Structure 1
Amino acid sequence: MRLRNDQLPAQLNKSLAPVYLLSGDEPLQLGEAADQVRQTARSQGFSERELLEVGPGFDWNQLLEAGQSLSLFGDKRLLDLRLSSSKIGTPGSKAISAYLADPPPDTLLLITAPKLDRAQQNSKWVKGVERLGVLVLIWPIEGQRLLPWLERRLRDVGLTPEPGVVEMLSERIEGNLLAAKQEIEKLLLLHGPGVVDQEQLAESVADSARFDVFGLVDALLAREAGRGLRMLEHLQAEGVVAPVVLWALAREIRALAEMAAMVEQGRSVDSVMAAQRVWEKRKPLMRKGLKRRAAVWRRLLIDCAGIDRVIKGLEKKDAWLRLQDVALGIAGVNTSALK
């Protein structure tokens, strides 16, 4: 069967299916859904758990061997299969289909995966999960759904938001549900259960979603130069050290330089992103970056090497000013024209 994320708890309360496939790119909801399955399984005697991390070079025979092996203590088992990509290829599809054709007794298979596209949802192995067990597609909570979700999370932990608090929290976390969870936990820790007002929220919110290093990278790739510079300034003001910011920027630039070179050699953008294991949620940003030549990214990588020398004291320049130049370069602003 196919369920929405909010329907999963009711299904778990009725009975445990032999297999669950949870798919989505929103980490908080995906993690919490998987925890619900694991906790229910533990409460029903599935005391043994085997973790299978599927990455490059994974041997799919491990899944079949795990299904066929006996529990060490004769207990019920949970096989926790974690896919780093929803594109598992023919070996993965055959292995999961073979498992589903003859599922072992007293064993529950939990599969967590990034977002499945329409073609993947219609694949043989996914359809097999739907027939035998439960498929849960987890969608981002955005737009009009976000405010009720935030208010429910606040009230679930005993916090009663005054008017304007939910809207303020939504504006601060900018759709980052993990950041929302952290801020709600912080409010509860600082003030305890009860009414929370805008002043209390303003004091506790750390703007973690808006100004974290990875958010900076995404803003720059989206060519939001002004927002990116504000984030960079905030990181500096918050005491984040320059090497951390440089590491994040250089890491992204290096990846784009390598991928852009592959595209220039004749490979398609889709095949390059698949080879580099780019998550679905980041593909639109990477597509923007791959519209630029590899030489652009290599020049920015050279600039990063120069900032590294500044940080190490080998050049007497301002590392943060140099980081601004690189940030603008990622965002597509020609900094030489500004000097």
Structure 2
Amino acid sequence: MRLKPEQLATQLKRPLPPVLLLSGDEPLQMLECADLVRAQARTQGFSERIRLETQAHFDWNRLADEGANRSLFGDRRLFDLHLHSSAIGNEGSKALSAWCEQPPEDSLLLINAPRIDKKQLTTKWLKAVDRVGILLQIWPVEARQLPAWLEQRMRGHGLQPQPGVAALLAERVEGNLLAAKQEIDKLLLLHGPGPISQEALLEAVADSARYDVFGLMDETLAGHPSRCVHILAGLRGEGVAEPVVLWAISRELRGLYPMAQQVAQGGNLNTVANGAWPPKRKPLVSAALKRLGPQRLQQALIRCGEVDACIKGWRKQDPWLMLERLCLNLCR
């Protein structure tokens, strides 16, 4: 069965199927949908949770072995499987297909996967999941849909945004739903439930402008290392989540990389930089393109993947230290 995110809560009120798959690259919606499944699983008696990560050289026999083992206290078990890639190979496909063919008794398999494309939906294991369980694909909220999405979320938290507030917030967060969540939480903390005006939103935004992730990127593009270190320390002190900072950096790098390739292939720097939006950022983009070539930007994107691994606990390094090193390297 295929569902949309907004259908999940209603579906979960029924007895849970043996397998649920959540797929997508949007971190906030993935996290909230997974939390919703786990909470409902607890209410239906799945009191034991077993987390599995398919890192490099993962032994897929482990999934079958864990499923075959009975719970020590006879509890119903939730298997929380996190796929490092949606391309799981023959062994992974066989293991998940076998699970779907004969799910272990009193067990629920929750699969968290990166975005799955149309071609992958035709694979045997995904067809098996679709047949016996729930398959939910989560897509990023499009720019034109974001104001309505934000207004609905604000109203769901007891806020009553006046006309223009949701659009102003959408411009502020630029598609980053984690940042949007933080802004809404902050508005609720500052003003409580009730009407929210544009002035109140702007005032709340101004309060956090000192340590803003977008300000961090401007200082990084301009090549100001001391300012980057200062802003990162402020973001950490204010409790900004590491994925929000990483999202801002990787988003900027993904935009710069094709520009740097054009310049390396003989493109005119000013012409290429004109593609930067908004226009006031053109000097920053030009400065960065002069300093950073495609090879360094590609290496920086690889470093973003390493920071992501640190945030998820796959590598034993401090994510904030890794973020600082990444920004300082881009300032050189």
Q: Same fold (TM over 0.5)?
A: yes
- Other-structure match for 2:89: 89
Query: In the TM superposition, what are the counterparts of 1:49-198 in structure 2 within 5 Å?
Result: 49-198=49-198
- Other-structure match for 1:298: none
**Are residue 32 (structure 1) and residue 35 (structure 2) matched?**
no
Shift of 1:117: 1.2
CA offsets per residue over residues 171-223 of structure 1, 9 Å max, x none? Answer: 0000100100010001111111111111211122236886175xx4xxxxxxx
> Do the aligned residues in 2 keep the contact of 1:52 with 1:79 (CA within 8 Å)?
yes
Distance 1:241 1:209, change over 3 A: closer
Please state whether the residue corresponding to 2:145 is helix, strand or coil.
helix
Query: In the TM superposition, what are the counterparts of 1:11-26 in structure 2 within 5 Å?
Result: 11-26=11-26
> Do the aligned residues in 2 keep the contact of 1:68 with 1:104 (CA within 8 Å)?
yes
Segments of structure 1 that go 5 or more residues without pairing to the other structure are: 217-225, 245-280, 295-322, 333-339
> Do the aligned residues in 2 keep the contact of 1:20 with 1:134 (CA within 8 Å)?
yes
> Do the aligned residues in 2 keep the contact of 1:157 with 1:193 (CA within 8 Å)?
yes
Counterpart amino acid of 1:239? H
Segments of structure 2 that go 5 or more residues without pairing to the other structure are: 236-250, 265-284, 295-332
**Are residue 288 (structure 1) and residue 261 (structure 2) matched?**
no
Counterpart amino acid of 2:124? K
Q: 2:231 aligns with which of 240, 245, 270?
A: 240
Whole-angstrom CA distance in 2 between matches of 1:136 and 1:106: 22
Shift of 1:40: 0.4
Please state whether the residue corresponding to 1:70 is helix, strand or coil.
coil
- Other-structure match for 2:41: 41
Distance 1:18 1:37, change over 3 A: same
Percent of matched pairs sharing the same residue:
49
CA offsets per residue over residues 50-85 of structure 1, 9 Å max, x none? Answer: 000111111111111111110121010000000121
Counterpart amino acid of 1:188? L
**Which structure would you say has the larger Rg?**
1
> Do the aligned residues in 2 keep the contact of 1:172 with 1:210 (CA within 8 Å)?
no
Whole-angstrom CA distance in 1 between matches of 2:133 and 2:107: 13
> Do the aligned residues in 2 keep the contact of 1:211 with 1:235 (CA within 8 Å)?
no
Aligned CA-pair RMSD: 3.6
> Do the aligned residues in 1 keep the contact of 2:256 with 2:289 (CA within 8 Å)?
no
- Other-structure match for 1:311: none
- Other-structure match for 1:211: 214
Counterpart amino acid of 1:288? P
Shift of 1:239: 3.2
Whole-angstrom CA distance in 1 between matches of 2:292 and 2:183: 30
Counting matched residue pairs gives 258
> Do the aligned residues in 1 keep the contact of 2:260 with 2:293 (CA within 8 Å)?
no
Whole-angstrom CA distance in 2 between matches of 1:241 and 1:177: 20
Distance 1:235 1:197, change over 3 A: farther
Shift of 1:329: 3.0
Moved more, 91-100 or 203-212: 203-212
Whole-angstrom CA distance in 2 between matches of 1:212 and 1:65: 49
Please state whether the residue corresponding to 1:14 is helix, strand or coil.
coil
CA offsets per residue over residues 123-172 of structure 1, 9 Å max, x none? Answer: 11111000010000101111332111100111111111111111110000
CA offsets per residue over residues 29-49 of structure 1, 9 Å max, x none? Answer: 111111111000000110000
Please state whether the residue corresponding to 1:142 is helix, strand or coil.
coil
* TM-score, scaled to structure 1: 0.67
> Do the aligned residues in 2 keep the contact of 1:172 with 1:209 (CA within 8 Å)?
no
> Do the aligned residues in 1 keep the contact of 2:83 with 2:111 (CA within 8 Å)?
yes
